[in-house]
Chains A and B, each alone.
Chain A
Amino acid sequence: MNVLIDNREVFLEGFKNTGILFIFSAFFSLILGTIVAGMRVSPAPAMRAAGTFYVNAVRNTPLTLILAFFALGYPKLGLPDINFMNAAIIGLSLYTATYVSEAIRSGINTVSVGQSEAARAIGLPFMQTLSLIVLPQAFRSVVPPLFSVFIALLKNTTVAAGFSVIEAGSIRSTLSDLGEPLLPGLLWVALIFVVLVLGILSPLQRYLEKKWRVAR
């Protein structure tokens, strides 16, 4: 307990940045993942191919490499500078979006073909069929897998510690520098993650599942 109280500044700063990384990455990956899922069910072959390529290329690349690219490779490209925090958000979003896209695509497949046929039959074009009819129903059935993706994202934020972002994953090394014992620090970090998942994400998942439960 002393480790936590004595170093509460370190813990606070770490988890604050973890929160920022998580919230922005979850937001952007949800948007990007939805767009990519839409591309993958598009009637246009070029869109489908682009979506499939993106998912396969990024999903099969280790997150560490993606973050390493944004932290180490990107600055050498001569493009506008981004700080490590933003670089981590971009990397995490691009990576997580592939998983979000696959979860949503599986949800799209649970919506019966008749729903989109009926939408097309009243004259809705593809984009509106997707956004008004298919996606709202698809989201309902992907709440559980989507939350698995976001729980993984929350834990994946710690990889950013390796690339100069001060967050929960870097608390341990900060504590070592301060001469604190290793194990209690690590245990506290792990415990706080469990509390975040069980205390925030799980109740949110239960709430959404209940709210969106619809008879078919």
Chain B
Amino acid sequence: MTNPAPVPALVELKAVNKHYGALHVLQDINLQVARGEVLVVIGPSGSGKSTLCRTINRLETIDDGSITIEGKELPKEGKSLASLRADVGMVFQSFNLFAHKTILENVTLGPIKVKGMNKSDADKLAMGLLERVGVGHQAAKFPAQLSGGQQQRVAIARALAMKPKVMLFDEPTSALDPEMINEVLDVMVELAKEGMTMVVVTHEMGFARKAADRVIFMADGQIVEEAAPQEFFTNPQSARAKDFLSKILTN
């Protein structure tokens, strides 16, 4: 039931280890993400799930092991790393829209500067994406003039503008007011339906149930459990997972 489909892995982590000083934050992580798969990573804070997500585009370096995307090892630094990052979209907890640029410029910057697209094509692409995430009418404003939910949707559009092969979401709704969470999740569910490969670190169990193909549960730097969402939520195997679920599913 938990066997991944026999397609080549788009993202593969093999025996990945990372330390923060004495803290062994990622312990011998092995993980594959198939093309088109939506992988949800959950776990208590400090379990290493955000770190795991951030290693995939090397915003965090690793101590040993290997991370490959389409079979190619992540470059260490420089131009080749930059061009790989262009293929891996990232959405942050704190949005991180460029504060001195308009919403439209936030989305067109990557296509223009990294992909060499001309401005009018980039504007057209960006407007299309902004319409799609429902903030087209805000294009001329600056990030600080938008609500958190709107900013996060712009951040998703900014990542999509690079036409990434995989999208990483690092707790995309954790900094949002409750009433704005769904507008962001709706966009993510749409993306999942369209077949985008996604790695989503989240506390939103509703999203995991609705959109995930597979859930991994992390604790203390290890992958403790790995299952289809239905299986994981109804029949968790490990004591850690049972404990975690009992705490977050009560409300």
Contact = CB atoms under 8 A, between A and B. Distances in A.
A216 to B, nearest CB: 5
B144 A215 contact: yes
A123 B162 contact: yes
B145 A117 contact: no
A43 B77 CA distance: 9
Nearest to A119: B98
B113 A124 contact: yes
Given A114-B92, A114-B96, A115-B96, A120 B82 contact: yes
Contact of B97 (A118, A123, A125, A140): A118
Interface residues of A, number: 22
A119 B86 CA distance: 10
Contacts, number: 76
Nearest to B79: A125
A45 to B, nearest CB: 12
Nearest to B90: A121
Contact of B59 (A115, A117, A124): A117
B82 A123 contact: yes
A137 interface: yes
30 contacts: A112-B94, A114-B95, A114-B96, A115-B98, A115-B99, A117-B90, A117-B92, A117-B96, A118-B90, A118-B92, A118-B96, A119-B98, A120-B82, A121-B88, A121-B89, A121-B90, A121-B92, A121-B159, A122-B114, A122-B158, A123-B82, A123-B84, A123-B85, A124-B82, A125-B82, A133-B98, A137-B100, A215-B142, A215-B145, A216-B99
Interface of B: 57, 59, 77-79, 82-90, 92, 94-100, 109-110, 113-114, 142, 144-145, 155, 158-159, 162
Q: Which 6 A-B pairs have the closest CB atoms?
A: A123-B86, A215-B144, A122-B110, A118-B96, A114-B96, A121-B90
